[in-house]
Copies of this chain bind each other. A is one copy, B any other.
Amino acid sequence: MKPEMSGRAVALAIVEDEKNVREGLKYFLGLDSRIRITGAFGTAEGLVSYLEGGGSVDMVLMDIHLPGMDGIAATRVLQDRWPNVTVLILTIFEDQDAILDSIKAGAKGYILKNTKPDALLEQILSAAYEGSPISPTVARRILDEIRRGARVSKAADYSLTLRETEVLRDIVNGLTYRELAEHHHIAGSTAKKHILHIYQKLNVNSKAEVVRKALEEGLV
């Protein structure tokens, strides 16, 4: 991973409605010098007020089930208004939809509450340095999701060459022969050759058709 850690501690806020859990986390995580707890809130609204009032945090440990605004909605709000804040979902629920919704809302990690305290600490720190902590059972669900989505895109192998693939991308981006030639520092006639080869391989005969095929079959 990263060889060195940044000089200052990570400013961490906790949003968790159960007081015992909240205080427990605050106490335990605060023990580590690399983490500075800047707030522990019982509701997402509390955190938002804090931020609106000028408070600052690097990272938020967010529960999903909360009174008032739930953790996923809160994540969306945070990403929208304070995009530099890293949100980690910390919950006992490993419901597939909740996991995906969290991720789509912008959460950088999804940690289950049964994670051992010191592992939790590691995961929080890893999130601070560009990683995404994911509990193994959660990861399994995410991978299942990807695989499910992966089946949708049919194999679609037209064995395009490297150059042809690059040219294809440019066609999709709407470049003309000339622009394409300049982009690749080749003659317009060559660009054209590549395009015609692509047409043969994809069995089409116009840019419009190529763009459609490329987008629909995920060739780009």
Contact = CB atoms under 8 A, between A and B. Distances in A.
B123 A132 contact: no
Interface residues of A, number: 43
A20 interface: no
Interface string A180-220: 00000000000000000000000010111111100110000
Copies of this subunit = 2
A155 to B, nearest CB: 11
A213 B111 CA distance: 35
Contacts of A150: 100, 103-104
A134 B139 contact: yes
A212 B103 contact: no
Given A108-B140, A143-B103, A216-B215, A172 B208 contact: yes
A142 B212 CA distance: 26
A69 B32 CA distance: 46
Contacts of A176: 206
Contact of A103 (B100, B137, B147): B147
A131 B140 contact: yes
A196 to B, nearest CB: 15
A91 interface: no
17 contacts: A1-B137, A100-B146, A130-B140, A131-B136, A131-B137, A132-B142, A132-B143, A134-B136, A142-B142, A174-B204, A174-B209, A174-B212, A176-B206, A206-B207, A208-B208, A208-B210, A212-B215
Query: Sorted from nearest, which 9 A-B pairs have the closest CB atoms?
Result: A131-B136, A132-B139, A132-B140, A174-B209, A207-B208, A104-B150, A126-B136, A211-B211, A134-B139
Interface of A: 1, 100, 103-104, 106, 108-109, 114, 123, 126-127, 130-137, 139-140, 142-143, 145-147, 149-150, 171-174, 176, 204, 206-212, 215-216
